[in-house]
Amino acid sequence: MTSETKQEKTVLLDQDGHLANREDWSEELAQELANIEDVGELTDRHWKVIKYIQKEFDEQGDAPSIRKLTKESGVSTKELYQLFPKGPAKKAAKIAGLPKPKGCI
């Protein structure tokens, strides 16, 4: 019986609806966030982007712009929009557990 009980977890979000604490992030949570964002089942291609932007964030302190993503992740702009419809830079950052990219001023 206990094995069927779903575990509840409360995570704190920031003003933009992104995770407030990076420590809360896990691959399972990423899938949950992807469902909320209507991105659906995360595939290898999604994961390639997510891992790339997490690495970028750790090195640069900000999630990359779409231009940088396409230039350096090896995923074309067209495909990025198929993977993360509407705003790939923002959506992928959200699913990766990172704050909204500062990029736009």
Beta bridge partners of 19: 13
Q: Output the smallest distance, CB 103 to another protein, in A.
A: 7
For another protein, the binding residue among 8, 23, 41, 59 (CB under 8 A) is 8
Cα–Cα nearest to 81, from 31, 53, 43, 39: 39
Report the alpha-carbon angle 97-37-100, nearest 5. 40
Verify binding: residue 40, another protein, rule CB under 8 A. Answer: no
Gap between the Cα atoms of 10 and 61, Å rounded: 26
Residue type, 3: S
Verify binding: residue 32, another protein, rule CB under 8 A. Answer: yes
Verify binding: residue 65, another protein, rule CB under 8 A. Answer: yes
**Contact positions toward another protein, by CB under 8 A?**
6-15, 17, 20, 28-29, 32, 65-68, 71, 77-78, 80-82, 85-87, 90, 102-105
